[in-house]
Chain A
Amino acid sequence: SQTIHQWPATLVQPVGSPLSLECTVEGTSNPNLYWYRQAAGRGLQLLFYSVGIGQISSEVPQNLSASRPQDRQFILSSKKLLLSDSGFYLCAWKGTAHRYGYTFGSGTRLTVV
């Protein structure tokens, strides 16, 4: 069965520090991978998605970047965090079966102080 792992679960970082969030998927190959951010009390904002190794599409210009160094690994990064980067970050994957939609990771709560 397919599983998605996302870590860390919580993170407190000072303004100006770097960020690296990792997401890995098991049990599937060539998945579409996604990073979403959810600000407190808000909906989901699609940040990046990837349909293959090294292929990254950015949805909104911002202080973040994404990379896909391996088929089942998706990394969200920042060189210098801003206060506005605080939020709940969710990784998701989607296979070829549309009826299953996305499968989400458990999320990372990032607080920038």
Chain B
Amino acid sequence: GEDVEQSLFLSVREGDSSVINCTYTDSSSTYLYWYKQEPGAGLQLLTYIFSNMDMKQDQRLTVLLNKKDKHLSLRIADTQTGDSAIYFCAEEGYSSASKIIFGSGTRLSIRP
């Protein structure tokens, strides 16, 4: 079945770049997503990338997609304390029929 994997924790210094990585197994994935969850809140869609794209940039966020390796990454430039959250990678494909499969989430913490 489909699976999405992420590392559980990442710690970066304030002002540095954060890179959160994700791998997925569904080769028919069409859309891939990054969500952000702040403490006690629901998930907020940060950005998405269509599977025929290699890169997408949106202000401080850069998404890279390596479809051959089924690897997705989210880079946050100039990381701020407000970026502290759990980041979820998710994928949707034809084989997942109306479902988006989420990774386990990466908890990003910021060091002063």
A contact residues, range: 20 to 34
Q: Are B42 and A49 in contact (CB under 8 A)?
A: no
A90: chain B residues at CB < 8 Å are: 42-43
Q: A32-B98, A43-B102, A44-B102 are in contact. Are A101 and B48 (CB under 8 A)?
A: yes
Chain A residues with Cβ below 8 Å from B105 are 43-44
Q: Give the interface SS of chain B, mostly helix, strand, loop or mixed.
A: strand
Task: Please give the distance in Å from B92's CB to the nearest CB on chain A.
Answer: 6
B30 within 8 A of A: yes
Contact B99 A99 (CB under 8 A): no
- Residues in B with CB closer than 8 Å to A100 are 45, 48
Known: A43-B102, A98-B31, A100-B45. 4 other contacts (CB 8 A): A6-B42, A43-B103, A94-B100, A101-B92
